[in-house]
Amino acid sequence: MQQALTAFFILAGSAFAAPRPQASTTSSAPAATASIKCPIVFDGRVPVGTAGTFFDSSNGLFNPDYVKGNDLKWSDILKFPTGEASRFDGAEYQAVEVTLSDKSIFQQQKGFRRAGLQFIQDSSTGPGTTGVKTLHFSVRQDTAKPLNLTHEYLNVWHEAADYSADQIMFQTGQIIGKSASDKNNFKILDRAGKSLYSVAMEKTAWQNFAIKLDYSKNQVQIYYSVGQNPLKSVAGPSSADLSGQGQFQMGILKKPTGTSDVVNAGYQESKLNEGQIYGGLFLEDSASGCVSL
Ligand SMILES: *[C@@H]1O[C@H](CO)[C@@H](O)[C@H](O)[C@H]1NC(C)=O
């Protein structure tokens, strides 16, 4: 086992500049709990043993320069919690936690605290903006770094190329201007803020989401499961305006309270120590109707 893993690390390390090897052919580790059945468009799964510093330089997974605190490196921001792997990570990929601190100020956006991963191949006019694509992500909470659900959080979204809107938003906490009654829920909203799906945040279990985006029909379908259970369709297909191209982002954007100018002003408590754990990050091609469950 130890030998097999070591071999995999060496192979993976040397292959990052080139197309990455299929882990299943380079390691004898047990297969992932669920296999991905459709063509992968963007792969954000983090191979077991990947060091934090890997994310500081040009790498095969995420943009090293965006979107994060000006004085932070990704190796400061990302943690690699142990524990049960998420459904699509299995034995070969590991969880990655995006954290916030008081230094999580991007450019001059002093109202936000944010850190967001972008797939390295994602571009505002690229394959993530056309056809039928399904974004997969699993989330788990870190009891030592809880989110403060009095605030509004954006965790996963697709932002239009002109930054004027997010076509789809996966959020938690109290949405500004809305009722606090569902603040403990994850919510998936369309660009107009209409709720497409909402489910309570689990305290310890993995929650697996897949959002199928049909850019030609302007439709969204949502799949969900807890733990290692297969995904099931839970909402849609619903009409949603997906126009405007753009990019995905996965992480944490924490909005302030007490302001209408959320980008620049408002209140953020100090000594922030928050995190959101992710697993199984990838975008697959669903043009043929394929969705990995
Ligand atoms: C949560 O946020 C609110 C509003 O910023 C703040 O008043 C409160 O102290 C925070 N709670 C914790 C536990 O940090």
C-alpha–C-alpha distance, residues 137 and 149, integer Å: 20
Q: Please tell me the distance between residue 144's alpha carbon and the centre of ligand 1 in angstroms.
A: 16
Atom 14, ligand 1: residue with shortest CA distance: 148
Read off the pLDDT band of 32 (50, 70, 90).
Answer: low
Of 113, 95, 147, residue with least CA distance to 274: 147
Summarize pLDDT for 177-194 with one digit per residue, the tens.
999 999 999 999 999 999
C-alpha–C-alpha distance, residues 264 and 244, integer Å: 25
Of 269, 270, 271, the residue with max ligand 1 atoms within 8 A of its CB, to mutate for a pocket test, comes to 269
CA dihedral angle for residue 203, residue 232, residue 118, residue 158, rounded to 10 degrees: -110
Summarize pLDDT for 83-93 with one digit per residue, the tens.
999 999 999 99
Token digits for 158? 């697709």
Token digits for 145? 């770094």
Cβ 258 under 6 angstroms from ligand 1: no
Domains, in order of start, for the chain: 38-285 (2.60.120.1160)
pLDDT at 11 over 70: no
CB burial string 147-175: b at 16+ within 10 A, e below: bebebbbbbbbbbbeeeebbbbbbbbbbb
Q: Which residues does residue 25 pair with via DSSP β-bridges, in sequence order?
A: none
* This prediction's pTM: 0.89
Cβ 269 under 6 angstroms from ligand 1: yes
Of 112, 148, 152, the residue with max ligand 1 atoms within 8 A of its CB, to mutate for a pocket test, comes to 148
> Reduced to 3 states, what is the DSSP secondary structure of residue 77?
helix
pLDDT at 202 over 50: yes
Report the nearest atom of ligand 1 relative to the CA of 268. 5
Cβ 267 under 6 angstroms from ligand 1: yes
pLDDT number for residue 18:
39
> Reduced to 3 states, what is the DSSP secondary structure of residue 55?
helix
Of 149, 152, 160, 224, residue with least CA distance to 192: 160
Atom 11, ligand 1: residue with shortest CA distance: 148
Summarize pLDDT for 211-263 with one digit per residue, the tens.
999 999 999 999 999 999 999 999 999 999 999 999 999 999 999 999 999 99
Atom 3, ligand 1: residue with shortest CA distance: 150
C-alpha–C-alpha distance, residues 109 and 16, integer Å: 33
